Amino acid sequence: MPIDVLLGLQWGDEGKGKVVDYIAPKYKVVARFQGGPNAGHTLVMNGEKHVLHQIPSGIFRPDTINVIGNGVVLDPAVFAKEVLALEVKNVEVKENLFLSNRTQIIIPTHKLLDRASEASKGEQKIGSTLKGIGPSYQDKFARQGLRLGDILSADFDSRYEALKLAHISLLDGSGFDQQELNEMETQFFESLEKIRTFKVVNTEYLLNDCLQKGQSILAEGAQGAMLDIDFGSYPFVTSSSTTAAGACTGLGIAPRHIRKVIGITKAYCTRVGSGPFPTELNDETGEKIRKAGQEFGSTTGRPRRTGWLDLPALKFANMVNGTTEMLIMKGDVLDCFDEVKVCTAYHNEAGQVSEELHYDMARNISRPILHTLAGWPEGLASADSWDSLPSNFKSYCLFIEEKLGVPISFISTGPGREQTIVK
């Protein structure tokens, strides 16, 4: 049986959590393959909201096995808090969750390094979530990180101490609060105790055994294609491979097992943090979208930047991911407009029209060429099938499908599980 990969096609926050939760019953396993506590995946069930950061979004489905893969960087303290929040809601976590022993650990000084790095960049800061993502991936690739399997070994504390001291020597110039570090460390070691009671295993064997037994797997992406370390709007990106290929290295699964690549996009664009955003609306329209879409970060609470849908960026994302189907989220947020716009190409700095994304978007400003379509002020709320959707919204979807050449299979009309239309 195959593995399907579900991932964001934009700058994150497309609605991955909602969709994974919705389609999880079709799969035996839901597995996270990259990112860490920078992610914030929101699930809304019976009007109640739950935000997951590191635990896969299949955790609310009692028959689903959830896996935190080797490609993830895990913050034990955030993990312990997430587990507690789920246990309070009587969600079975311990039985249904497996953690890879190869998963990199975010230690407290990674977060201090993240903060110091951003502070040193001033105006050029990435706008990181400050969760220690960049520094922990740096240690992974420098071949000096600590992994979850290591917490079971006798020399873990001394290896931790050595890595911490190496970090402190880097931090010396920028100074840090020893008291704060002490408190973070207390929490860190308490959280490791909790993790020791979980199943920390060779998840590559578990996942490949599932495939061999004919059980299907859903790989849950975090962030989105435009934040990918290679293909995103570098350097304003995250530090992992958010695209489909990342699912193979982040889980230990061969490319030949991938069946569908399910790409998620909002009906418009958002971005949180710094960096280029060609269709950004720094005006009343942008504010209206932010308000209607409640566009505030699920992890940091920061206001998200908003703009019209960017088709050249989506086309690029579909190309590098091999997207086989697209899901359109939050079309209801645009209910408040009589007309909506979509970027179909850019004017580059030389004044030429181009549909290609510049490799260095940050230094080469592209001005969007916008196409206007009729809005759907009657709203999506009452629709429960493709046929009952407002005809202008259907035209909007068909326009996107036609321009991108990828079918739309699913439409989300609101945050709730039930506000979902399969096309």
Please identify which of the residues 13, 114, 310, 332 carries the catalytic annotation.
13
Residue from 4, 21, 41, 228 carrying the catalytic annotation: 41
Q: Which stretch binds ligand GDP (CB under 6 A): 104-112, 116-124, 280-288, 411-419?
A: 411-419
* Binding range to ligand GDP, per CB under 6 A, among 96-104, 326-334, 350-358, 363-371: 326-334
Q: Considering beta carbons, is residue 126 or 383 the nearer one to ligand IMO?
A: 126
Instruction: Point out the residue whose Cβ comes nearest to ligand IMO.
Output: 273
Minimum CB distance to Mg ion smaller for 112 or for 262: 262
Task: Confirm whether 13 is a catalytic residue.
Answer: yes
Closer CB to Mg ion, 40 or 250, in the complex: 40
Among 28, 102, 330, 341, binds ligand GDP (CB under 6 A): 330
Cβ atoms within 10 Å of 397's Cβ, excluding its own: 18
34 is an interface residue for Mg ion by CB under 5 A: no
Q: Does residue 14 bind ligand GDP (CB under 6 A)?
A: yes
Of the two residues 81 and 164, which places its CB atom closer to ligand GDP in the complex? 81
Nearer to ligand GDP, 42 or 279 (CB): 42
Q: How far is the CB of 250 from ligand IMO (least distance, A)?
A: 14
d(CA 297, CA 51): 11
By the rule CB under 5 A, 40 interacts with Mg ion: yes
> Least distance to Mg ion from the beta carbon of 42, Å?
7
Question: Torsion angle of alpha carbons 306, 311, 312, 317, nearest 10°?
Answer: 90
- The least distance separating ligand IMO from the CB of residue 140, rounded to whole angstroms, comes to 14
* β-strand pairing of 41-45 with 48-52: antiparallel
Should residue 332 be labelled a site residue for ligand GDP when binding is judged by CB under 6 A? yes
Query: By Cβ distance, which residue is nearest to ligand GDP?
Result: 42
Q: Check residue 44 for interaction with ligand GDP (CB under 6 A).
A: yes
Distance, in Å, from the CA atom of 371 to the CA atom of 396, rounded to the nearest integer, reads 11
Give yes or no for residue 307 binding ligand GDP (CB under 6 A). Answer: no
CA of 37: how far to CAs of 45, 57, 81, 250, 384, in Å?
A: 22, 13, 11, 16, 34
Q: What are the CA-CA distances from residue 252 to residues 112, 149, 283, 381, 399 (Å)?
A: 31, 16, 45, 41, 37
Determine the Cα–Cα distance for residues 102 and 391; give it in Å rounded to an integer: 49
| Cα gap 4→211, rounded to integer Å | 12
Partner from Mg ion, ligand GDP, ligand IMO, none contacting 273, C-beta within 5 to 8 A by type = ligand IMO
Does the footprint of Mg ion cover residue 56 (CB under 5 A)?
no
* Contact between residue 238 and residue 11 where contact means Cβ atoms under 8 Å apart: no
43-75 burial, b at 16+ Cβ within 10 Å, e below that, comes to bbeeeeebebbbbbbbbbbeebbbbbbbbbbbb
Q: Is 42 in the site for ligand GDP (CB under 6 A)?
A: yes
Task: Name the one range near ligand GDP by CB under 6 A: 13-21, 225-233, 307-315, 381-389.
Answer: 13-21
**Residue 299 beta carbon to Mg ion: minimum distance, rounded to whole angstroms:** 7
Q: Mapping DSSP to helix (H, G, I), strand (E, B) and coil, where does residue 243 land?
A: coil
- Which of 14, 4, 58, 2 is CA-nearest to residue 222? 14
Contact call for residues 73 and 140 (beta carbons, < 8 A): yes
**Strand 73-74 and strand 420-422: pairing?**
unpaired
Strand 325-329 with 339-347, pairing: unpaired
In the complex, least distance from residue 55 CB atom to ligand GDP, rounded to whole angstroms: 13
Residues forming contacts to ligand GDP in the complex (CB under 6 A) are 8, 12-18, 40-42, 44, 293, 298, 329-330, 332-333, 412-415
Active site residues: 13, 41
